[in-house]
Amino acid sequence: MHASGRIPIVSIVGKSDAGKTTLLEGVVSELAARGYVVATCKHHAHEVDIDVPGKDSWRHARAGARVVMVALPAQLVTIRRLERELTLDEIADEAAREGCDVLVTEGFKRTAKARIEVVRRARSRELISEPDELVALVTDDDGIEAPGVPRFALDDHRGVADFVERTFLGGARDGD
């Protein structure tokens, strides 16, 4: 946890089909293998109904339940209706209450905290962020200008996880 009392928020941003989800999967897998408890949050700009119309839980929500929980043998799924969109800090606070060490987000282009941008040459040759907003760049394009920003190859999930651990989590876990 940071001195602010909040867990760190690392935001993976980039254009569609740049490889954000693949990078997130690799980094989360690396951090989890090192013993960190990782939360992830995917931002959707539009409303998405993740519940299945007609199913009991959907019917519960439609009847007026503000919080609908589905209990499975190894999972508890919670769907909570919000009166307003939560900030990244509020989402991180939710993750911290669940015992998480770090929140890794995908999307959140407008409100991203520590931005790691993914740029795939075949998809685009431009950043969506200003270089001074970036903490790292993951790309296969040597022509992208971002002076002083650490760079990683698209498939260097371990290197990005090392960077996240060193920069935001205070170094290696005890016993590593």
pLDDT of 94-109, one tens digit each? Answer: 999 999 999 999 988 7
Q: At 46, is the pLDDT very low, low, confident or very high (cuts 50, 70, 90)?
A: low
> Would you say 168 and 92 are in contact if contact means Cβ atoms under 8 Å apart?
no
CA atoms of 151 and 160, how far apart (whole Å): 9
CA 85 to chain centre: 16
Angle of helix 157-168 relative to helix 20-33, nearest 10 degrees, comes to: 60
Average pLDDT over residues 105-124: 89
Choose among 139, 146, 145, 107: nearest CA to 120.
139
Q: What is the pLDDT of residue 173?
A: 58
Average pLDDT over residues 10-25: 95
Ramachandran quadrant class, 105 (left: phi over 0; alpha: psi -120 to 50; beta: rest): beta
Name beta bridge partners: 72.
75
Across the chain, mean pLDDT equals 88
Give the percent of the chain with pLDDT over 90.
58
> Would you say 24 and 12 are in contact if contact means Cβ atoms under 8 Å apart?
yes
Q: What is the pLDDT of residue 175?
A: 45
Residue 148: Cβ-neighbour burial (10 angstroms; 0-12, 13-18, 19+): exposed
> Would you say 115 and 134 are in contact if contact means Cβ atoms under 8 Å apart?
yes
Give the percent of the chain with pLDDT over 70.
90
- Note the pLDDT tens digit of each residue in 58-98: 889 888 888 888 888 998 888 888 888 889 999 999 999 99
- Structural domains present in the chain: 9-46+85-168 (3.40.50.300)
Average pLDDT over residues 153-171: 95
